[in-house]
Chains A and B, each alone.
Chain A
Amino acid sequence: MSRRKLKGIGLAISTILSLVVAPQLIIELLPSQLSGQMAGIMGSYLQMLMVFGVLLAILYIVKYFTEPWRYVNLGCVLIMDGLWLYLLLYIAGFGDPASYGMFARSFDAVKVSFDFRFIVNFLVLIIAVRVVKDIVDFAYSRKAWKTSKARRINS
């Protein structure tokens, strides 16, 4: 198996471990003293992370098992960037991506509010740079592939 495919499998396994297995363990370890409301919020939040984990693992496999100059690879990479953006907005908004990092939660008589808009803006900037890099990498791979293909035909 090529090094590229092994990298894909490794990334898929680490994604499954961090977003599927770890949340499952956290759900199991939730103390029984936690109120029903708190357990409900954390449960649905962690279950969503698990769904993202499975999707990202599949996309890692597709990405690293297809040649980097194929359009399916570019599509896969861009979908992954979109998923990462949604996942980060989901985490920063504590389950509400539309809140854009500004949210409040009430627990009995206590209301906790957060303003993470700056962090979210920074994350969006990182994802934007990543999208540009992915497109540049794809353009480079495609150009190199076309050049080698033309060379093979000529020879």
Chain B
Amino acid sequence: MVRLVSGLLTAILVLLKLILAIIVIASLYTMVSVFIGTMSSVDESAFYQKFNPDGSIDLIFKINARNDGFLDSRMDVTVKLLSNGVIIAEGSDSTIISPKSSRELQAVLSITQSQAMELMNTQPSLEISFKVRTFNDLIGMGLTTEVKEL
């Protein structure tokens, strides 16, 4: 009986290790491929402005997120406009990307005309953060960077 239990536990251990190895490899590969696929679409043209009739300005950050991995993954992008460490405007977008497909993400930051005038006299910076979660949102990684000279 004890021998049987030991054998059963050994089999469970092998199975658990195999499942974990598959989960880790598939998840890490998916997350890294989403990051690489997304980062390659980020360039100067990712940012553009839209002037509204009421005088406010929409700063739009548009990227094309691509998933070359094995699993569905959720991509979150958040952009913050900061002035002397204070958040002036914030925009975010989130989407689920199926394997071997791509989706567009668009974060819109709206600033009023007076805020825009204030920013002319200060040194604003942008904080861009990307978050990728996969395996039913159970495993994730993120990257945050600050662009100081606008």
Report yes or no: A126 in contact with B16, Cβ–Cβ below 8 A.
yes
CA distance A139 to B135 in the complex (A): 39
Q: A121-134 vs B: 1/0 string, CB under 8 Å? A: 01101100110110
**A133 with B139: in contact, given A119-B23, A122-B16 (CB under 8 Å)?**
no
Min CB distance B24 to A, Å, is 6
Residues of A near B143 (CB, < 8 A) are: 110-113
- Taking a contact as CB atoms closer than 8 A, the residue among B13, B24, B145 that contacts A126 in the complex is B13
Report yes or no: B141 in contact with A114, Cβ–Cβ below 8 A.
yes
A143 proximal to B (CB < 8 A): yes
Report yes or no: A136 in contact with B5, Cβ–Cβ below 8 A.
yes
CA distance A139 to B148 in the complex (A): 64
Which residues of B from 31 to 48 have beta carbons under 8 Å from A?
A: none
The main secondary structure of chain A at its interface with chain B is helix
Residues of B near A119 (CB, < 8 A) are: 20, 23-24, 139
**A109 with B16: in contact, given A118-B135, A119-B23, A139-B2 (CB under 8 Å)?**
no
CA distance A112 to B130 in the complex (A): 10
Q: A116-155 vs B: 1/0 string, CB under 8 Å? A: 1111001101100110110011011001000000000000
Residues of B near A118 (CB, < 8 A) are: 23, 135, 138-139
Residues of A near B146 (CB, < 8 A) are: 109
- Taking a contact as CB atoms closer than 8 A, the residue among B13, B23, B145 that contacts A133 in the complex is B13
Closest to A139 in B: B2
Q: B1-34 vs A: 1/0 string, CB under 8 Å? A: 0110110011011001101100110000000000
Q: How many A-B residue pairs have CB under 8 A?
A: 66
Min CB distance A146 to B, Å, is 13
Question: Which of the four size classes fits the interface of chain A?
Answer: 20 to 34
- Taking a contact as CB atoms closer than 8 A, the residue among A112, A126, A132 that contacts B142 in the complex is A112
**A136 with B2: in contact, given A114-B140, A119-B20, A122-B23 (CB under 8 Å)?**
yes
- Taking a contact as CB atoms closer than 8 A, the residue among B3, B16, B19, B142 that contacts A140 in the complex is B3
Report yes or no: B144 in contact with A113, Cβ–Cβ below 8 A.
yes
Report yes or no: A129 in contact with B13, Cβ–Cβ below 8 A.
yes
Report yes or no: A113 in contact with B142, Cβ–Cβ below 8 A.
yes
CA distance A126 to B13 in the complex (A): 6
Residues of B near A133 (CB, < 8 A) are: 6, 9-10, 13
**A109 with B145: in contact, given A118-B139, A119-B20, A126-B20 (CB under 8 Å)?**
yes
Residues of B near A140 (CB, < 8 A) are: 2-3, 6
CA distance A130 to B14 in the complex (A): 10
Residues of B near A115 (CB, < 8 A) are: 133, 139-141
Closest to A113 in B: B142
Min CB distance A145 to B, Å, is 13
Instruction: Give chain A's interface residues, CB within 8 Å of chain B.
Output: 104, 109-119, 122-123, 125-126, 129-130, 132-133, 136-137, 139-140, 143
